[in-house]
Amino acid sequence: MARRGSSNRGRRGGHDPAAGNRTAKLGGIVHRIVAEGIESLDDERLAMVSITGVDVDRDLHRAIVWFTSLDDDHDPGITEAFEEHGGRLRHDVATQSKLRRAPMLEFRPDVALRSAARIEDILRESPVSDADGEEI
């Protein structure tokens, strides 16, 4: 039986509560550095892009960077721009975070925000009915 406070590191299926703190902290750092980095890039495709979140995997080797833009029709161009500038952004993460090894950056559009906005638009357009079915 493991004592309270002992490390489960190296055990299969063990839970390391500090791992969640490390990934969350690194996610915040990557979020800030990438957001600042895209502001400094001279690329029109990234002009209206916002970083909405970063998910770092448990071993800190990969980070999924979620983005959204005001112009949804240009996602392929945005993805292409991130592919072109991904190396520089990763270098920025490496130098500014002082990590021994910066995580690989994977850029994905944040469709959850778009879906939520679309649902809000639909709800705004739909008439609201009371319990008797009468429009309010």
Domains of the chain in start order, with CATH, are 18-125 (3.30.300.20)
pLDDT of residue 3: 36
pLDDT at 9 over 70: no
Neighbours of 75 (CB within 10 A): 18
Alpha helices in 3-110 (DSSP H): 17-40, 75-97
pLDDT tens string 48-91: 899 999 999 998 899 999 998 877 655 788 989 999 999 999 99
Quick one: pLDDT band at residue 12, thresholds 50, 70, 90? very low
pLDDT of residue 119: 76
Q: How much of the chain, in percent, has pLDDT values that exceed 70? A: 71
CA distance 101 to 128: 54
Residues 114 and 67: beta-carbon distance below 8 Å: no
